[in-house]
Amino acid sequence: MTHTPEPTAPLKALPLQIVIVGAGFTGCCLAVQMVRTATVPLAITLIEPNSHLGRGLAYSTVDPDHRLNAPAYVHSMLPDDAFHFTSWCLNNQVLERDPEALWSDGGLYFRRSDFGLYIEDTLKQHADWPATGCTITHLQDKAVGLFNRDGRWRVTTGKGNDVAADRVFVTTGNPVPRLPATFDSELAAHPGVLENPLNNPRLNTIASQSRVLLVGSSLTALDVLATMLRQDHQGPIVVLSRHGLRPKQQAPIPEPLLKARTPEGIAALPGNILLGRILRPVPAYFLEHGQALTLRGMVKALRAKTKEVQKEGANWYAVFDDMRDALWQLWPQLPAQEKRRFLTKMRTWYDVHRFRTVPQSDQRVRSAEARGLIRFCVARLKSVSAVNADSHLEVVMREKGQGDDIRRPFDVVINCTGLDAVKGMQANPFLVAASDSGYIRRDACSLGFEVDAHCRAVNSEGVALHTLRVLGPPTVGSFGDPIGAMFIAAQIYRMLPEVQESFKVNSNLDDDQLLIFHTRVPLM
């Protein structure tokens, strides 16, 4: 008698091992979009030392006056659903707890801490995604090394973990601010110097009568000022900047988007309202000159179009936003010398138009300025020094229009100069190790790391590695402006189809490629 074996179920492919280094907005957004669009099962490990995910540098603040600097509909982890965050806020009664989020023009400017909660909550909802067989776990540790052995990656950590991966995604975000060269090097430890202006505990201990200098007049400076004003600071505050430029005010909220304050209003609006702008072709007027793209040509086109729309009664916002939204396509076409020229000649001008004010903070600061409590000063900072840790700080500056340097004493000096990418990368052992090993290399402007159009890391030999990708702020030198939630989410959205297609090629893994560490923490 012939024995007929019972039919067996086909073997399932073991999940590909995905490691994401860094779990701020970029890392969490990548994990969420990845599990939603996966073509094969993925076991995603987020390596992040913080216990709360999604915070990063921007959203770790707990200060109630630190708000998102753009309306709620600009913030979403799902770029094809611009109102995902707004809906989350409505479902969680955030506006009821924070009625000041609703500005007079109808815009919703929620607290950054609430956006951080949204990121973490959305990530937890996707931690076990049956539709695609994907999982997300958190390894609470700090990545310190990267190695490639026999075609597979291994990420080592500060606690001694050795994590194997088929793909590694570097999402280390923005570096912690560092003191500029005009400060004596030892001042980082001085009690009167705040190297990191987002350090809320330090801000909260500033004596109310202290003489305070803010170096830089960016959005970060507005955050610091908002905190100090809420604490009823009474001492003189000076805000110093070289050009005297301040962030521009927000554009008026488009009439259709005023509906996005109720579920019914959101349902009537297209979810891809912003993604469509970012993915569309470059507006023709930027390319009309018919020559190789130059910075001068871009500025000329921008000015000409602005004059044209102003004659028709419109404002500059729409034209500038055309350039901002297309910059990821325009920037790679610029020669390296043109990019460096932008950084030295035009970046400050671009930033004040690009990174606009939080209206709640701006109103408070301008009111204090009118009362004489805050003075904005156009000057060049020459040096900051202190005799000893207990002494006041001596600042040497030269104000615009003055021929001589002046010396002024301050009790507190706060660094609001912005991000120093080079110093920030040097302080990250994982990035240093990956760079020293030749797996990644600096971009031509030393703003971050070089990647190709699909965010594949370019190694020291100029080869793009399809199993190692870099996303978010570290790619600013390659794409020009991958900063801000919507633009990071869109960058991930553009990259993922090619990534997901590549996953199909090697989805059948053997047993020893499935490494699960007991230190991984399920998202619960």
Residue with tokens 């590909």, as numbered in its chain: 16
Average pLDDT, the chain: 89
Q: Quick one: pLDDT band at residue 154, thresholds 50, 70, 90? A: very high
Say yes or no: 378 and 347 in one domain: no
Residue 511 has pLDDT above 50, yes or no: no
| CA–CA separation, 103 and 185 (whole Å) | 42
Question: Does some domain include residue 7?
Answer: no
Question: Does some domain include residue 253?
Answer: no
Say yes or no: 488 and 402 in one domain: no
Q: For position 107, what pLDDT does the model report?
A: 93
Say yes or no: 393 and 437 in one domain: no
Q: What are the angstrom distances between the C-alpha of 410 and each of 193, 209, 385?
A: 10, 11, 10
Question: Does some domain include residue 269?
Answer: no
Q: Quick one: pLDDT band at residue 513, thresholds 50, 70, 90? A: very low
| CA–CA separation, 394 and 397 (whole Å) | 10
Owning domain of residue 366: 185-247+357-415
Quote the radius of gyration of the chain (alpha carbons, Å).
25
Residue 308 has pLDDT above 60, yes or no: yes
Q: For position 507, what pLDDT does the model report?
A: 54
SS3 5: coil
Angle between helices 336-345 and 347-354 (to 10 degrees): 70
Q: What is the pTM of this model?
A: 0.91
Q: For position 289, what pLDDT does the model report?
A: 62
> Looking at residue 57, which CATH number applies to its domain?
3.50.50.60
Q: Quick one: pLDDT band at residue 158, thresholds 50, 70, 90? A: very high
Say yes or no: 235 and 291 in one domain: no
Tens digit of each residue's pLDDT (9 = 90 or more) over 124-151: 999 999 988 999 999 999 999 999 988 8
SS3 325: helix
Burial of 226 (0-12, 13-18, 19+ CB in 10 A): buried
| CA–CA separation, 45 and 148 (whole Å) | 17
Residue 521 has pLDDT above 50, yes or no: no
Q: What are phi and psi of 225, to 5 degrees?
A: -65, -40
User: Comparing 38-47, 331-340, 455-464, which segment has the lowest mean pLDDT?
Assistant: 331-340
Tens digit of each residue's pLDDT (9 = 90 or more) over 317-338: 999 999 999 999 999 999 999 9
Question: Does some domain include residue 254?
Answer: no
Say yes or no: 22 and 123 in one domain: yes
Dihedral of alpha carbons 436, 482, 497, 260, sign: positive
User: Comparing 1-5, 163-167, 295-299, which segment has the lowest mean pLDDT?
Assistant: 1-5
Instruction: Give the residue among 227, 196, 184, 199 at the shortest CA–CA distance from 417.
Output: 196
List all residues 6 or more positions away from 185 whose beta carbon is below 8 Å from its beta carbon: 179
Helix (H) / strand (E) containing 337: helix 336-345
Question: Does some domain include residue 73?
Answer: no
